[in-house]
Amino acid sequence: MKAVTFKNQQILITEVPEPDCGSEDLLVKVCSAGINAADILQKRGLYPAPAGIPQNIPGLEFSGTVVKVGRKTSGFSPGDRVTGIVGGGAQAELITIHYSNALIVPDSVNLVDAGGFSETYLTAYDALVRQAGLQMGEKVLINGAAGGVGLSAVTIAALLNTRVTASARHVEHHQHLKTLGATPVLPEDVSKNAPYDVVLELVGGINMEQNISNLSDDGRISVIGIGAGAKSEIDLRLVMSKRARIFGSTLRARTTQSKAGLINEARTKLIPLLDQGKLPITIAGRFDFNEAESAYESFSTPGKLGKILLVF
């Protein structure tokens, strides 16, 4: 099969062996795979795949059609349309996934676009709902709102009937954020709607000082992205006096079992909403996988709105 591979920080399209379908795995013919910041870091040699995951094939999320099911799987058959998260290897013509980490794509959803669903919506749901416990009526700030995770977070927060402020530095993205149910602001204006009960940090350390001063009492900050820096100086007096809680998380390194817990919640809470058209997948660009280099360049160019997909 063909796959996107990294060698010496270069992107190649390479002939690689097909993956083995274990007894608890699904073998999936990939339809599309989203590009994520983790792939960019892996290309630069900074974020190696976890043990047991192909080291040279990037890709954390995909959509596709099941071609084979392991004998110890349940709930899936050949021909099923699926999406899922993996530790790597999704940017290839075939992939295997533990059946507990896969989700059925509703018939109402375009299978190409579904390749941009899992990493963004699962990350956003996990951070806002499972970690930060976002509640109806609360005020939430999403920093980095025009990216894949940000748009998903805005959508989920708006569906929860919270008051959503979406910070995005390109004013041309603000109308789209408004359509999703948020009040858009430029990063320099986030204080105007403070205090916030919850802050979702997708940009990095440069925002942390402001996040804490804009936090309400008993507020929560969920740190998910550090593309603009991992370090920050924060005033611990404010952390104490506001009874603040700061969470952090990564999805990739979690065990299959831990991911399955999140996938199970997504199966009952997110997939019905996806089916009803309430979880839009905003696509900034679709590229044939042979054009992976252009796709990666497009992902890394500031100003995109939503996901970049590789189509197989």
Ligand X SMILES: NC(=O)c1ccc[n+]([C@@H]2O[C@H](COP(=O)([O-])OP(=O)(O)OC[C@H]3O[C@@H](n4cnc5c(N)ncnc54)[C@H](OP(=O)(O)O)[C@@H]3O)[C@@H](O)[C@H]2O)c1
Q: Return residues touching ligand X (CB under 6 A).
A: 36-38, 119, 123, 144, 146-150, 168-170, 187, 202-203, 224-225, 227-228, 249-251, 302-304
Contacts of 8 (CB under 8 A, 6+ apart): none
Closest-by-Cβ residue to ligand X is 147
Give the chain's radius of gyration (CA, Å).
19
Query: Shortest Cβ distance from residue 60 to ligand X (Å)?
Result: 8
**CA–CA gap between residue 148 and residue 169 (Å, rounded):** 15
Query: Shortest Cβ distance from residue 187 to ligand X (Å)?
Result: 5
Return the number of the residue (75 or 303) whose C-beta is nearest ligand X.
303
Q: Which residue carries 């080291």 as its tokens?
A: 55
Return the number of the residue (73 or 131) whose C-beta is nearest ligand X.
131
Contacts of 292 (CB under 8 A, 6+ apart): 4, 11, 13, 91, 310
Query: Shortest Cβ distance from residue 229 to ligand X (Å)?
Result: 8
Query: Shortest Cβ distance from residue 198 to ligand X (Å)?
Result: 16
Query: Shortest Cβ distance from residue 68 to ligand X (Å)?
Result: 29
**CA–CA gap between residue 117 and residue 112 (Å, rounded):** 10
Return the number of the residue (98 or 307) whose C-beta is nearest ligand X.
307
Contacts of 31 (CB under 8 A, 6+ apart): 62, 63, 64, 65, 111, 112, 114, 115, 311, 312
Return the number of the residue (30 or 146) whose C-beta is nearest ligand X.
146
User: Are the beta carbons of 81 and 105 closer than 8 angstroms?
Assistant: yes
Query: Shortest Cβ distance from residue 301 to ligand X (Å)?
Result: 8
Return the number of the residue (73 or 150) whose C-beta is nearest ligand X.
150
**CA–CA gap between residue 196 and residue 146 (Å, rounded):** 19
Return the number of the residue (217 or 253) whose C-beta is nearest ligand X.
253
